[in-house]
Amino acid sequence: MKRKVLALMVLTLVLIAFGLAKTTNQPNTLAEKIQKASALLLDSEKSEDKTQGFLLLVESIDLAGAGGSFPAGFQDEVRGALEIFRKGSSILDQQAADKLRKAYVLLNAGKPFQMPAEISSIDQAVEYGRTQIRSALAQVNAGKNADAVRPLLEVILMVITPMEAKG
């Protein structure tokens, strides 16, 4: 009897340990989610990391926008794109991209996203993305989650918008 109880206790502790390890790999706060997304999307060379980072960033937009005052349909478009990505679609999925672009138009008084004029290389785009991430994190850390939505959405749109050759 004692052996069975001991074996069950050991098994329970092992399961708890695995459960804790699994949950500690997941970001707990919006700021942690944004930081992890940024590291995976902007720093990793692995395509699966970039895909995971992209998904985390879209989740961050959804989370930051929850309860915010946004134009009608904005949150529906973000959540629609998120649902598509969660099903395993490519970050270049046209339907999801269209939803994110529409969300931006709703957020930006009817104006579509345009790549910032000062960006002419991938390195400049990555640095601009880092700046937008820092801006979003500053807003979140100041308790202004809704104000983090635009810079995060701009990073996402930069990733899915083709750059045109200049010169």
pLDDT digits (tens, 9 = 90+) for 103-122: 999 999 999 999 998 898 98
Q: Is the residue at 14 inside a domain? A: no
Q: Is the residue at 72 inside a domain? A: yes
**Sign of the dihedral defined by the CA atoms of residues 85, 76, 61, 127, in that order:** positive
The whole-model pTM stands at 0.80
CB atoms within 10 A of CB 162: 6
Please report which confidence band the pLDDT of residue 166 belongs to, taking 50, 70 and 90 as the band edges. Answer: low
Domain assignment of residue 138, given as a range: 28-160
Q: Is the residue at 136 inside a domain? A: yes
Q: Is the residue at 167 inside a domain? A: no
Identify which of 110, 100, 114 has the alpha carbon closest to the alpha carbon of residue 156.
Answer: 100
Q: Is the residue at 1 inside a domain? A: no
Per the structure, how many domains does the chain have? 1
Instruction: Please give the Cα distance from 71 to 126 (Å, whole number).
Output: 29
Please report which confidence band the pLDDT of residue 17 belongs to, taking 50, 70 and 90 as the band edges. Answer: very low
pLDDT attached to residue 79: 96
